[in-house]
Chains A and B, each alone.
Chain A
Amino acid sequence: MRSVRQTARDVQSGETSALSVLEESLAQIRARNDELNVFLYVDEDGARAAASAVDERIARGEDVGALAGVPVALKDNLCQTNIPTTCSSKILEGWRPPYNATVVDRLLLAGAVPVGKTNLDEFAMGSSTENSAFGPTRNPLDTTRVPGGSSGGSAASVAADMTPLALGSDTGGSIRQPAALCGLIGVKPTYGLVSRYGLIAFASSLDQIGPLTKTVTDAAMALEAIAGHDPLDSTSLPEPSPSLVTHVEDGVAGKRIGVVRELIDGADEEVVAAVERAVAALKDAGATIVELSVPEFRLGLSAYYLIAPAEASSNLARFDGVRYGLRVDAGDVTAMMEATRTAGFGEEVKRRIMLGTYALSAGYYDAYYGQALKVRTLTIEAFGRAYQEADLLIGATTPSVAFEFGSKTADPMAMYLSDVFTIPSNLSGEPAISVPFGTGEAGLPIGVQLLGPGRSEAQLFAGARVLEIADGRP
Chain B
Amino acid sequence: MTLPDGWEMVVGLEVHTELKTNTKMFCGCANAFGAAPNTNVCPICLGLPGSLPVLNVRAVELAMAIGTALHSTISPSTFHRKNYFYPDMPKDFQISQYDLPINAGGHLDLPDGSRVSIERAHLEEDTGKSTHLGGSGRIHGADRSLVDYNRSGVPLVEIVSGPDIRSSAQARTYAAELRGILIATGASDGRMEEGSMRIDANVSVRRSGEPFGTRCEIKNLNSLRSLVRAIDFEAARQVELLEGGGTVRQETRHWDENDGSTSTMRVKEEADDYRYFREPDLVDLVPDQAWQDRVRDGLQPMPAERRATLSQRLDSPTQSVLDALEVVIDLGIDEFVIAALDAGVDADLAFARAANEIAGDLDNVANLSIGSYVATLKMEQSAELSATQAKAVLVEILANGGEPVSIAKGKGYERLASGALGDVVAQLIEENPDEWTRYREGDEKLAQFFIGQVMKLTKGQANGKDVIAELQSRR
- Do A and B come from the same complex? yes
Q: Are A333 and B145 in contact (CB-based, < 8 A)?
A: yes
Inter-chain contacts of A375 with B (CB < 8 A)? none
Contact of A101 with B by CB under 8 A: yes
Q: Given A232-B54, A318-B90, A322-B147, A97–B48 Cβ distance below 8 Å?
A: yes
Q: Across the interface, do B52 and A234 meet the contact criterion of CB distance under 8 Å?
A: yes
A205 CB–B CB distance under 8 Å: yes
- How close is A427's CB to chain B, nearest CB, in angstroms? 13
Residue B291 lies at the interface, judged by CB distance under 8 Å to chain A: no
> B283, A235: Cβ atoms under 8 Å?
yes
Rounded to whole angstroms, the CA-CA distance of A360 and B280 in the bound complex is 14
**A234-B283, A318-B91, A323-B46 given as contacts; is B275 within 8 A of A361 (CB)?**
yes
Choose from B43, B83, B85, B277 the contact partner of A99 (Cβ within 8 Å). Answer: B43
Q: Please report A residues at the B interface, Cβ cutoff 8 Å.
A: 77-79, 85, 87, 92, 95, 97-99, 101, 196-201, 203-205, 231-235, 310-311, 313-314, 317-320, 322-324, 332-334, 337, 357, 360-362, 365, 369
Contact with A along B119-151 (1 / 0, CB 8 A): 000000000000000000001100001010000
The contact size tier of chain B is: 20 to 34
CA distance A317 to B91 in the complex (A): 7
Residues in A neighbouring B276, C-beta threshold 8 A: 360
> Lowest 7 A-B CB distances belong to which pairs?
A317-B92, A205-B280, A360-B275, A204-B280, A200-B49, A198-B50, A79-B50
* A317-B83, A318-B90, A322-B87 known; A234 vs B48 contact (CB < 8 Å): no
Chain B residues whose C-beta falls within 8 Å of the C-beta of A197 in the assembled complex: 50-52
Interface readout for B91-102 with A: 1 if CB under 8 Å, 0 if not?
Answer: 111000000000
Task: Determine which of B49, B139, B280 lies in contact with A318 in the assembled complex, contact meaning CB atoms within 8 Å.
Answer: B49
A-B contact pairs, 24 of them (CB 8 A): A78-B50, A79-B49, A99-B51, A101-B50, A197-B51, A198-B50, A200-B49, A200-B50, A204-B280, A232-B52, A234-B282, A234-B283, A311-B280, A313-B275, A314-B275, A317-B83, A318-B91, A319-B49, A323-B90, A333-B87, A333-B139, A360-B275, A361-B275, A362-B273
Q: Select which of B43, B50, B273, B280 is within 8 A of A361 by beta carbon.
A: B273
The B33-85 residues at the A interface (CB cut-off 8 A) are: 43, 46-55, 81, 83, 85
Establish whether residues A234 and B281, one from each chain, have CB atoms under 8 Å apart when the complex forms: yes
In-complex Cβ contact of A360 among B47, B139, B277, B281 (8 A): B277
Contact of A234 among B43, B54, B90, B277 (CB under 8 A): B54
Q: A85-B49, A204-B281 are in contact. Are A98 and B87 (CB under 8 A)?
A: no
Taken together as a complex, chains A and B put the C-alpha atoms of A209 and B239 apart, in Å, by 61
Distance in angstroms between the alpha carbons of A169 and B81 in the assembled complex: 23
Q: Which residue of A lies closest to B49 (CB)?
A: A200
Q: Tell me if B52 and A334 are in contact (CB < 8 A).
A: no
In the assembled complex, which residues on chain A have CB atoms less than 8 Å from the CB atom of B90? 318, 323
Q: What is the chain A residue whose CB lies nearest that of B87?
A: A322
Bound together, the chains give a CA A101 to CA B55 distance in angstroms of 19
A98 touches B49 (CB 8 A): no
Q: What distance in Å separates the Cβ of B376 from its nearest Cβ neighbour in chain A? A: 49
Please indicate the chain B residues that have their CB under 8 angstroms from the CB of A101 in the complex: 50
CA gap between A205 and B52 in the complex, in Å: 12
Cross-chain contact of B87 among A99, A319, A320, A369 (Cβ < 8 A): A320
Most A Cβ at <10 Å: residue of B52, B91, B92: B52
Chain A residues with CB under 8 Å of B46's CB are: 323
Q: How far is the CA of A310 from the CA of B80 in the complex (A)?
A: 13
How many angstroms from the CA of A203 to the CA of B280 in the assembled complex?
9
The reply to whether A314 and B277 form a contact with Cβ atoms under 8 Å apart is: yes
Q: Pick the residue among B43, B83, B92, B280 that contacts A98 (CB under 8 A).
A: B43
Q: List chain B residues, Cβ under 8 A from A323.
A: 46-47, 90
From DSSP, what is the main secondary structure of chain B's interface residues? loop
The distance in angstroms between the C-alpha atoms of A332 and B273, with both chains bound, is 22
Chain A residue contacts of B83, Cβ below 8 A: 313-314, 317, 360
Since A98-B43, A317-B92, A322-B87 are in contact, a sample of 17 more A-B pairs with Cβ atoms closer than 8 Å, ordered by chain A residue number, is A78-B50, A92-B49, A97-B48, A97-B50, A99-B48, A99-B51, A201-B49, A232-B52, A234-B55, A313-B83, A314-B81, A317-B91, A323-B47, A360-B277, A361-B273, A362-B275, A365-B275
Bound-state Cα–Cα, A95 to B48, Å: 10
Q: How far is the CB of B226 from chain A (nearest CB, A)?
A: 27
B352 CB → nearest A CB, Å = 51
Report yes or no: A98 in contact with B277, Cβ–Cβ below 8 A. no
Secondary structure at chain A's binding surface: helix, strand, loop or mixed? loop
Given A337-B85, A357-B275, are A97 and B49 neighbors across the interface (CB < 8 Å)?
Answer: yes
Chain A residues near B283: list those with CB within 8 A: 234-235
Q: Which of A196, A233, A317, A362 has the most CB of B within 10 A?
A: A317
Q: How far is the CA of A301 from the CA of B329 in the complex (A)?
A: 61
- B residues 168-197 in Cβ contact with A at 8 Å: none
Kindly report which residue of chain A lies nearest to residue B139, judged by CB atoms: A333
Q: For chain B residues 269-295, which have a beta carbon within 8 Å of chain A? A: 273, 275-277, 280-283
- Most chain B CB within 10 A, of A79, A318, A324, is at A318
Task: Give the residues in chain A near B281, CB-CB below 8 Å.
Answer: 201, 204, 234-235
In the bound complex, do residue A95 and residue B49 qualify as a contact, i.e. CB atoms below 8 Å apart?
yes
Contact B93 A317 (CB under 8 A): yes
Question: How far is it, in angstroms, between the C-alpha of A197 and the C-alpha of B26 when the chains are bound?
Answer: 13
Is B54 a contact partner of A98 (Cβ separation < 8 A)? no
CB distance from B245 to the nearest CB of A (A): 33
B 288-335 contacts with A by CB, 8 A: none
Separation in Å of the A458 CB from the closest CB of chain B? 25
Name the B residues within 8 Å of A320 (CB-CB): 85, 87, 92
Which of A77, A324, A332, A333 is within 8 Å of B48, CB to CB? A324
CB-defined contacts of A204 to chain B, threshold 8 Å: 280-281
Of residues B90, B93, B280, which shows the largest number of chain A Cβ atoms within 10 Å of its Cβ?
B280
| Assembly CA distance A259 to B92 (angstroms) | 45
Q: Which residues of chain A come closer than 8 Å to B54, judged between CB atoms? A: 231-234
Minimum Cβ distance to chain B for residue A323 (Å): 7
Residue of chain B at shortest CB distance from A360: B275
Give the complex CA separation of A1 and B389 in angstroms. Answer: 86
Closest chain A CB from B92 CB (angstroms) = 3
Q: Do B50 and A201 touch (CB < 8 A)?
A: yes
With the chains together, A314 CA to B49 CA distance in Å? Answer: 12
Contacts of A98 in B (CB 8 A): 43, 48
- CB contacts (< 8 Å) of A313 on chain B: these are 83, 275
Chain A nearest CB: distance from B148 CB in Å?
A: 12
Closest to A320 in B: B92
Whose C-beta in chain B lies nearest to the C-beta of A230?
B52
Q: Which residue of B lies closest to A311 (CB)?
A: B280
Q: Which of A196, A200, A234, A320 has the most CB of B within 10 A?
A: A234
Note all chain B residues with C-beta closer than 8 A to A205. Answer: 280
Separation in Å of the A296 CB from the closest CB of chain B? 21
Within B209-266, which residues are at the interface with A (CB < 8 Å)? none
B435-446 CB contact bits vs A (8 Å, 1 = yes)?
A: 000000000000
Partner of A317, one of B53, B85, B140, B277: B85
A332 to B135 Cα, complex, angstroms = 13
A133–B416 alpha-carbon span in the complex (Å): 86
* C-alpha gap A95/B50 in the complex (Å): 13
Q: What is the CA–CA distance of A369 and B276 in the complex, to the nearest angstrom? A: 11
What residues on B are CB-neighbors of A360 within 8 Å? 83, 275-277
A311 cross-chain contacts in B, Cβ below 8 A: 277, 280
* CB-based nearest B residue for A317: B92
Nearest-neighbour CB distance to chain B for A367, whole angstroms, equals: 14
A324: chain B residues within 8 A (beta carbon): 48
Residues of A with C-beta under 8 A to B52: 196-197, 232-234
Query: Using Cβ atoms and an 8 Å threshold, which residues of chain A touch B139?
Result: 333
Question: In the assembled complex, which residues on chain B have CB atoms less than 8 Å from the CB atom of A235?
Answer: 280-283
Report the separation of the CA atoms of residues A233 and B44 in the bound assembly, to the nearest whole angstrom: 11
> When the two chains form the complex, which single residue of A92, A95, A334 contacts B85, counting CB atoms closer than 8 Å?
A334
Bound form: Cα–Cα A428–B281 in Å: 16
Contact with A along B3-30 (1 / 0, CB 8 A): 0000000000000000000000000000
Tell me whether A318 and B87 are in contact (CB under 8 A).
Answer: no
State whether A369 touches B50 (Cβ < 8 A).
no
Report how far A219 CA is from B64 CA in the complex, Å. 45
Complex Cα spacing A314 to B93, Å: 7
